[in-house]
Amino acid sequence: MPTFEGCPQFCCGNGRGGDGDGDGDGDGDCCCADIVDLSVNAASADDWTHTLGVILRTGARTNAAGGFTGGGTGNKAIVGVRGGGGQPISGLQSIVFEWENIDGPMGPNAIPPELPTVVTPYLNLIVDFDPMGGGDIRVMVAATDQLNPAINAAVGTYVNDGANRFTYSWDTSQDVLIVLAPPNPVPGGVAPNVSVGPSWLENTYRWSDLVAANPQAVFVDAYPADGGLPAGAVCPPLLVVSGDSGNTTRSGKRISSLIVNSEQEWPCGDGDGDGDGDGDGDCPAVTGVLPSTLTLGGPNAVTANGTNLDQPGTWSATAPGLAGPVVVPATVIGPPIPGAVPLDIDLSNPAIVPGPGGVLTFTPSDPGCPPTSVPFTIQAA
């Protein structure tokens, strides 16, 4: 399983009574995700990982060419998450990030919806499909809302909590885009899963197909020589991005949390961990709800999966409604078991309509731990 954090522990709480970093010296010096600012031109990835997260911001300015590997003159904010280089791509299971708008447009998932914009955040993955030969380094795109709706839906899941706080996620059941494929060949000869046109921005490939056809493929720290990435820069395997090489939109996007394979990369708390001294930084993280498609009406018995869900806190849910999101009860119906909590989600409110956009949220009682959410879909009875 890839570990994109750059050190053995990272802090995701701010409990008291112990430093929680597990090194025995009592100084609370566990670390957060090891990140690097790879932004180009009038752009920045501001590191507030111990409190706010990471701020991706771009300016409304045209620049001289040269900052990008290609000829772009725009502004692109990029945060790279170090770690995971050399690890097989088969180990990656999921990536979830939450974001809020500070400035600029919010794109098609906003309430009310806005036009697509290149400044809404998305993911890049850097993979070498031929590590034992001459190298075949590719840049892949996931969790983007900027393209054809069929493409967007294939490469990510997008949830708005009703207050324009967004959760974007990707997992191995979904697809990716491969930059410049086509026209370049697809590693392993994998055929498109979704195709709406001839360009690479209009074709997606199942991740599972790419893994099966390329068992040798690994994540890499590399200079991918991609026209939309910084000239001469070695990039880590995971990038969170706002903007592109032609962007001149003023924007600020707060990436408030990032979770890879259920491991929280940020926020990191104040450095003292959860206070229990075991070094694991025990903030809860909800990573899924089974089943993820619920039936209109009630009751709906589900299992919330994740880590450290036995901590005190409150469960809540919102569901899509004709007049906007509807708050619905989420009730614990049994004792937590390791990594899971049984719940009932009541969907009997007549204002609820079928469709995507349901959100289940756990709010820990510990003020140092942030709320954590997962999406679900509602079908007609």
Residues 243 and 358 in one domain: no
Q: Domain boundary residue among 236, 265, 294?
A: 265
Residues 112 and 232 in one domain: yes
Q: Residue 190 gets which letter from DSSP?
A: P
Question: Against a cut of 0.75, is the pTM above it?
Answer: no
Dihedral sign (CA 67, 248, 197, 157): positive
The residue segments making up the domain with residue 95 are 33-265
Position 108 in a domain: yes
Query: How high is the pLDDT of residue 83?
Result: 87
Q: Which helix (H) or strand (E) segment is 98 a member of?
A: strand 94-103
Residues 107 and 212 in one domain: yes
Query: How high is the pLDDT of residue 12?
Result: 39
Position 275 in a domain: no
Q: Which CATH number belongs to the domain containing residue 354 in this structure?
A: 2.60.40.10
The total number of structural domains that make up the chain? 2
Query: How high is the pLDDT of residue 32?
Result: 58
Residues 173 and 294 in one domain: no
Chain centre to alpha carbon of residue 141: 12
Position 4 in a domain: no
Query: How high is the pLDDT of residue 204?
Result: 98
Position 15 in a domain: no
Q: What are the helix (H) ranges across the chain?
A: 149-154, 207-213
Position 7 in a domain: no
Position 273 in a domain: no
CB 282 within 8 A of CB 311: yes
Q: Domain boundary residue among 265, 300, 332?
A: 265
Q: d(Cα 348, Cα 55) in Å, to the nearest integer?
A: 39
Backbone φ and ψ for 249, nearest 5 degrees, come out as -95, 130
Query: How high is the pLDDT of residue 338?
Result: 72
Q: Domain boundary residue among 230, 265, 300?
A: 265
Query: How high is the pLDDT of residue 3?
Result: 53
Residues 328 and 257 in one domain: no
Query: How high is the pLDDT of residue 48?
Result: 85
Q: Which helix (H) or strand (E) segment is 169 a member of?
A: strand 165-171
291: nearest Cα among 376, 360, 172: 376
Residues 216 and 312 in one domain: no
Verify cis geometry, omega within 30 degrees of 0, for the bond prior to 375: no
Residues 49 and 165 in one domain: yes
Residues 38 and 161 in one domain: yes
Query: How high is the pLDDT of residue 339?
Result: 78
Query: How high is the pLDDT of residue 195?
Result: 98
Residues 83 and 200 in one domain: yes
CB 357 within 8 A of CB 160: yes
Q: d(Cα 332, Cα 344) in Å, to the nearest integer?
A: 6
Beta-sheet pairing, 137-142 with 175-178: antiparallel
Position 18 in a domain: no
Residues 188 and 60 in one domain: yes
Q: Mean pLDDT, consecutive 10-residue segments, the chain of 381 residues?
A: 40 36 36 83 90 92 96 97 92 95 97 97 98 95 98 96 95 97 97 98 98 96 96 97 98 94 72 40 82 88 88 91 90 83 93 91 87 91 83
Residues 146 and 63 in one domain: yes
Query: How high is the pLDDT of residue 221?
Result: 96
CB 187 within 8 A of CB 138: yes
Residues 258 and 324 in one domain: no
Neighbours of 4 (CB within 10 A): 25
CB 240 within 8 A of CB 258: yes
- Length of the chain, please? 381
Position 62 in a domain: yes
